[in-house]
């Protein structure tokens, strides 16, 4: 957590008061919540009444996708189609899959090109094929793995013609690149506190004032009757402080990170020419690629070997995605971009943040080439092992006594 | 040494890793993801690769202060262990998947990756002992606790594999000791129940699991004379020595229970008979391998005294064995049992011992029944 966010969090943890209570301490807590709401709304280009606090990005995505689907389908039962990008975070993708499995929804996974950009022609064709039956469209603002920034304005422009609501998961974009909810034409937008230096367990769904959403969880109706549950004053205060800090000098910090990112990308490409950059080739500053995102696939090795060796060398990286048990899986994002499973298994993401400096890039580059060479030697888990086993011995027909005595 | 501790999430591998740390090695914990559907929370029987096991292994590593990773070997595991298990049953044989996993996954795929990433050895919670002879060659021996001894399922390891294996539980007098040690070390898995079943058959219903994967056709259950006395729903799911699940309805003439004597996959027949007919006095083994360097009699082809064991926890019996070379240059093992053994199925592994030392192993290809000598060469 960043300084102001940590200070706000600890300050309000020690205070009592339920923001829904009408007594003095309740009103003071309410005050903190509303001030934070204002900060977050302003950081995201929205009116304060459009910010609905949630327990995080996942809840916000669930509320948006399910809430929009139920509201739209409830108003007109022909609206069953969900148009969803094929590189969404699991919070959106799995929610859509759940609606298909349990609520009779039909999904169209919108293809992406080799840079991870949603194909707008396909989107337009899918909408115009039968606009009356589309319940909602959902396209993330920026991808968490490969950093591609999506053409949200174009998506909402196509949808608006037919009055179709659009949701965007902006968890990665918010606080990292300029995000303007009002100007985007979105109906709902999910954000999270911990991605911008705030605490884990707090997020928000931006909900346009005219948008109707069916609640997912029921209870006291604290948040505009859309979301129930006692508000976490300390977490929200901290979220507000983090949002303010992240956007106070956003162009400056994004520019600094983008330059550092391009330096790292260039260094990797020079040191390991066979490594392949994922996502936008031309980052366009931070207009096409997130400023802190560097993602490569390294041929001939497993991402987890690379991760292990880098970790041992003191560099923390990520393979992209892992299941609940911690098993690295070929990323659905990379597969959607047309990579093979084998290529996708060599994925490695290097994230830069507000503490990253040139010396971090240098530290990584000091170990990466050697690390890559070792990881390549370890090869792919699917290949045939060269260790002598009972099977290979009997296959090769080794006769007794061929093993050298005293061999070490 | 740089040691990779294979962490199943159970108490044995956790204590083994702890001992490797105590011994001054540079230890890293790795949990093997072996299931194609790793994100499942399994209850009841435990095995590899559940969320629970992965997180237990993680917690143990945190406690020991060592790094922890999950590596995916599910593809290799499916090909080398699961598919092999199915194919063996489909051919009327009885495979040992744990042995296959040690041979091809833990001490091959994992070991190779470990060596390439700079490790010197793979450490597991197996109860067995590796020692070096006077020339520094590795030998595999039974663990101090014969009741827990797992040298049988490691009997398939080669010289090269043994050289990079570490079994810190070798000298432990009992499993209770290991649990007590885990408790003392504050490891949360101290009281976790043992896993017994085949890890990829979650509910322990091997027959049901096989029925979904092998095409089963109804056929006859016949007695030793070939007379049909019942029907079965697929010969491939039976195992020699099996007594339950025959559903013959009426008892045998002598009133004694009947056992599966033989499976004939080509005729889709299951042969049953009294327990005494299960006794065999000679076994032939193929796919022979030696655990470390072979003893001299192997090269010379002379007969040698040994103990033969055909099950992970079966009693070893006295035997005389010899090795010959077939027309294709492959070793053939012939084991003559001093006392007959019951319930020997093709596909099973025979492991040979001298004292506590594991000599090697072979896959049983045929066995000679003391009461049905005519079958000696017909089994395949």
Tokens of A307: 């991760």
3-class secondary structure, B284:
strand
Tokens of B83: 């598919």
Mean pLDDT of chain B: 88
Query: CA B160 → CA A88, A136, B81, B82, B157, distances in Å?
Result: 46, 60, 21, 25, 8
Helices (H), chain B: 11-22, 51-64, 74-77, 83-90, 97-101, 110-116, 151-154, 159-163, 175-184, 206-211, 296-300
Gap between the Cα atoms of A52 and A58, Å rounded = 13
Gap between the Cα atoms of A146 and A289, Å rounded = 8
* Residue among A376, A378, A400 with most chain B CBs within 10 A, to mutate: A400
- Residue contact A389–B103, C-beta within 8 A: yes
Residues of chain B contacting residue A325, judged by C-beta atoms under 8 Å apart: 31, 33, 38-39, 49-51, 53-55, 70
Residues of chain B contacting residue A309, judged by C-beta atoms under 8 Å apart: 117-118
CB distance from A273 to chain B under 8 Å? no
DSSP states of B241-260? T--TT----SPPTTS--EEE
Gap between the Cα atoms of A53 and A44, Å rounded = 14
CB distance from B204 to chain A under 8 Å? no
Inter-helix orientation angle A358-378/A250-271, to 10°: 40
Check: CB of residue A174 under 8 Å from CB of residue A191.
Answer: yes
- pLDDT, tens only, B34-87: 876 544 444 333 444 567 888 899 999 999 999 999 888 888 898 999 999 999
Inter-helix orientation angle B51-64/B11-22, to 10°: 20
pLDDT of B244 reads 83
* pLDDT tops 60 at residue B377: no
Nearest CA in chain A to B133: A406
- Residue contact A407–B361, C-beta within 8 A: no
- The pair phi, psi for residue B232, each rounded to 5°, is -130, 165
Task: Look at residues A68, A67, A348 and name the one whose alpha carbon lies nearest to residue A218.
Answer: A67
Q: For chain B, how many residues are written?
A: 380
* Residue among B51, B60, B289, B323 with most chain A CBs within 10 A, to mutate: B289
- Residue contact A403–B159, C-beta within 8 A: yes
Closest approach of chain B CAs to the CA of A34, in angstroms? Answer: 40
Task: Give B370's pLDDT tier (boundaries 50, 70, 90).
Answer: confident
Residue A167 host element (H or E): strand A166-169
* pLDDT tops 70 at residue B312: yes
Interior CA angle at A159 toward A158 and A165, to 5°?
160
Task: Look at residues B35, B30, B38, B33 and name the one whose alpha carbon lies nearest to residue B6.
Answer: B30
From first CA to last CA, the distance across chain B in angstroms is: 45
Which residue among the candidates B61, B101, B123, B306 is catalytic per the annotation? B101
Closest approach of chain B CAs to the CA of A382, in angstroms? Answer: 6
From first CA to last CA, the distance across chain A in angstroms is: 52
Which residue among the candidates B49, B61, B123, B199 is catalytic per the annotation? B199
A170 CB-near residues (< 8 Å, 6+ apart)? A44, A140, A141, A142, A179, A189, A190, A191
Residue B101 annotated as catalytic: yes
- Residue contact A387–B160, C-beta within 8 A: yes
Check: CB of residue A326 under 8 Å from CB of residue B67.
Answer: no
Cβ pairs bridging A and B (under 8 Å): 143
CB distance from B44 to chain A under 8 Å? no
The single residue listed with the structure tokens 């990881």 is: A375
Gap between the Cα atoms of A262 and A147, Å rounded = 13
Residue B98 annotated as catalytic: no
CB atoms within 10 A of CB B339: 9
Residues of chain A contacting residue B84, judged by C-beta atoms under 8 Å apart: none
pLDDT of B44 reads 35
Gap between the Cα atoms of A325 and B31, Å rounded = 10
pLDDT of A136 reads 98
Task: Look at residues A179, A127, A124, A192 and name the one whose alpha carbon lies nearest to residue A150.
Answer: A179
- Residue contact B39–A324, C-beta within 8 A: yes
Task: Look at residues B247, B240, B255 and name the one whose alpha carbon lies nearest to residue B379.
Answer: B240
Gap between the Cα atoms of B237 and B248, Å rounded = 16
The single residue listed with the structure tokens 């060479």 is: A373
Q: Going along A225-313, which residue ranges are E strands?
A: 276-277, 293-297
Ranges of residues in chain A whose predicted pLDDT is under 70:
320-328, 380-385, 393-408
* pLDDT tops 90 at residue B266: no
Label residues A244-265 b or e (16+ Cβ within 10 Å = b). bbbbeebeebbebbbebbebbb
pLDDT of A381 reads 55
Closest approach of chain A CAs to the CA of B277, in angstroms? Answer: 32
Tokens of B178: 């290991």
- Residue contact A390–B33, C-beta within 8 A: no
Check: CB of residue A165 under 8 Å from CB of residue A136.
Answer: yes
| pTM reported for the whole predicted model | 0.83
Nearest CA in chain A to B160: A388
Closest approach of chain B CAs to the CA of A90, in angstroms? Answer: 14
A306 CB-near residues (< 8 Å, 6+ apart)? A298, A317, A319, A346, A348, A371, A372, A375
* pLDDT tops 90 at residue B333: yes
Beta strands A188-192 and A166-169 are: parallel
pLDDT of A100 reads 98
Q: Average the pLDDT over B157-177 and give the result.
A: 93
* pLDDT tops 80 at residue B265: yes
A111 burial via Cβ count (<10 Å: 0-12, 13-18, 19+): middle
Gap between the Cα atoms of B8 and A45, Å rounded = 50
Residues of chain B contacting residue A375, judged by C-beta atoms under 8 Å apart: 117
Task: Give B93's pLDDT tier (boundaries 50, 70, 90).
Answer: confident
pLDDT of A169 reads 98
pLDDT of A63 reads 98
- Residue contact B116–A374, C-beta within 8 A: yes
CB distance from B49 to chain A under 8 Å? yes
- pLDDT, tens only, B177-203: 999 999 999 998 988 888 777 888 877
- pLDDT, tens only, B199-218: 888 777 888 888 889 888 89
Gap between the Cα atoms of B6 and A9, Å rounded = 41
CB atoms within 10 A of CB A361: 21
CB distance from A306 to chain B under 8 Å? no
Gap between the Cα atoms of A73 and A58, Å rounded = 22
Nearest CA in chain B to A388: B160
CB distance from B238 to chain A under 8 Å? no
Check: CB of residue A226 under 8 Å from CB of residue A207.
Answer: yes
Q: Average the pLDDT over B89-106 and give the result.
A: 90
CB distance from A386 to chain B under 8 Å? yes
CB distance from B160 to chain A under 8 Å? yes
What is the strand order of the sheet B165-166 is part of? B68-72, B26-33, B2-6, B121-123, B165-166
Beta strands B2-6 and B121-123 are: parallel
B182 CB-near residues (< 8 Å, 6+ apart)? B11, B14, B15, B18, B189, B190
């Amino acid at each position: 957590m960043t300084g102001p966010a940590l200070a706000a969090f600890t300050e309000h943890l020690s205070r009592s008061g339920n923001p829904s209570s009408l007594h003095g301490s309740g009103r003071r807590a309410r005050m903190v919540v509303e001030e934070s709401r204002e900060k977050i709304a302003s950081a995201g280009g929205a009116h304060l009444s459009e910010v609905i606090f949630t327990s995080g990005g996942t809840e916000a995505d669930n509320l948006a996708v399910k809430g929009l689907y139920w509201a739209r389908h409830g108003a007109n039962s022909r609206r069953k189609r969900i148009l969803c990008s094929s590189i969404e975070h699991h919070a959106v993708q799995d929610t859509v899959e759940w609606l298909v499995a349990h609520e009779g929804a039909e999904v169209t996974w919108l293809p992406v090109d080799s840079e991870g950009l949603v194909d707008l022609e396909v989107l337009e064709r899918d909408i115009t094929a039968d606009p009356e039956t589309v319940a909602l469209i959902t396209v993330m603002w920026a991808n968490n793995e490969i950093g591609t920034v999506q053409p949200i304005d174009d998506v909402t422009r196509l949808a608006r013609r037919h009055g179709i609501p659009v949701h965007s998961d902006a968890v990665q974009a918010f606080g990292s690149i300029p995000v303007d909810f009002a100007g985007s034409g979105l109906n709902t937008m999910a954000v999270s506190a911990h991605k911008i230096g705030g605490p884990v367990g707090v997020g928000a769904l931006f909900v346009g004032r005219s948008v109707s959403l069916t609640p997912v969880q029921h209870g006291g109706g604290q948040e505009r009757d859309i979301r129930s549950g006692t508000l976490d004053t300390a977490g929200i205060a901290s979220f507000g402080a983090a949002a303010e800090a992240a956007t106070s000098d956003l162009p400056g910090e994004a520019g600094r990170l983008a330059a550092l990112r391009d330096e790292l990308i260039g260094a990797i490409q020079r040191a390991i020419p066979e490594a392949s950059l994922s996502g936008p080739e031309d980052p366009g500053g931070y207009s096409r690629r997130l400023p802190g995102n560097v993602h490569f696939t390294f041929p001939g090795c497993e991402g987890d070997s690379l991760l292990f060796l880098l970790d041992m060398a003191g560099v923390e990286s990520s393979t992209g995605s892992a299941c609940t048990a911690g098993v690295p899986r070929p990323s659905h994002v990379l597969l959607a971009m047309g990579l093979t499973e084998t290529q996708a298994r060599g994925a490695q993401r290097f994230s830069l943040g507000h503490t990253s400096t040139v010396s971090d890039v240098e530290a990584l580059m000091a170990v990466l080439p050697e690390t890559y060479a070792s990881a390549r030697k370890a090869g792919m888990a699917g290949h045939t092992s060269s260790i002598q086993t009972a099977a290979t011995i009997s296959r090769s027909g080794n006769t007794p006594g061929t093993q050298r005595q005293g061999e070490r | 040494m740089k040691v990779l501790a294979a962490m199943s999430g159970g108490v044995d591998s956790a204590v083994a890793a702890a001992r490797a740390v105590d011994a001054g090695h540079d230890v890293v914990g790795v949990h093997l993801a072996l299931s194609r559907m790793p994100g499942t929370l399994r209850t009841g029987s435990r095995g590899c690769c559940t969320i629970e096991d992965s997180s237990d292994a993680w917690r143990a590593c945190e406690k020991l202060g060592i790094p922890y990773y999950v590596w995916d070997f599910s593809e290799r595991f499916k090909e080398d262990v699961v598919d092999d298990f199915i194919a063996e049953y489909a051919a009327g044989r009885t495979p040992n998947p744990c042995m296959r996993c040690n041979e091809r996954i833990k001490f091959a795929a994992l070991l190779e990756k470990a060596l390439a990433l700079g490790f010197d050895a793979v450490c597991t919670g197996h109860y067995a002992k590796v020692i070096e002879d006077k020339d520094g060659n590795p030998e595999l021996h039974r663990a101090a606790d014969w009741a827990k001894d797992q040298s049988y399922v490691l009997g398939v390891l080669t010289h090269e594999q043994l050289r990079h294996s570490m079994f810190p539980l070798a000298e432990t007098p009992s499993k209770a000791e290991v649990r007590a040690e885990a408790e003392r070390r504050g490891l949360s898995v101290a009281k976790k129940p043992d896993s017994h079943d085949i890890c990829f058959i979650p509910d322990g219903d091997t027959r049901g699991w096989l029925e979904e994967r092998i095409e089963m056709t109804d056929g006859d259950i016949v007695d030793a004379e070939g007379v049909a006395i019942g029907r079965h729903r697929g010969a491939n799911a039976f195992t020699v020595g099996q007594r339950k699940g025959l559903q013959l309805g009426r008892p045998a003439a002598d009133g004694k229970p009947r056992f599966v004597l033989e499976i004939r996959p080509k005729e889709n027949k299951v042969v049953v008979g009294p327990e005494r007919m299960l006794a065999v006095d000679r076994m032939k083994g193929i796919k022979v391998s030696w655990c470390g360097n072979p003893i001299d009699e192997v090269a010379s082809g002379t007969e040698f005294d040994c103990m033969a064991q055909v099950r992970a926890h079966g009693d070893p019996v006295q035997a005389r064995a010899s090795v010959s070379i077939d027309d294709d240059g492959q070793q053939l093992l012939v084991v003559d049992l001093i006392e007959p053994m019951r319930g020997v199925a093709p596909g099973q592994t025979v492991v040979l011992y001298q004292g506590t030392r594991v000599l090697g192993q072979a896959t049983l290809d045929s066995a000679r029944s003391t009461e049905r000598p005519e079958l000696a060469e017909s089994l395949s």
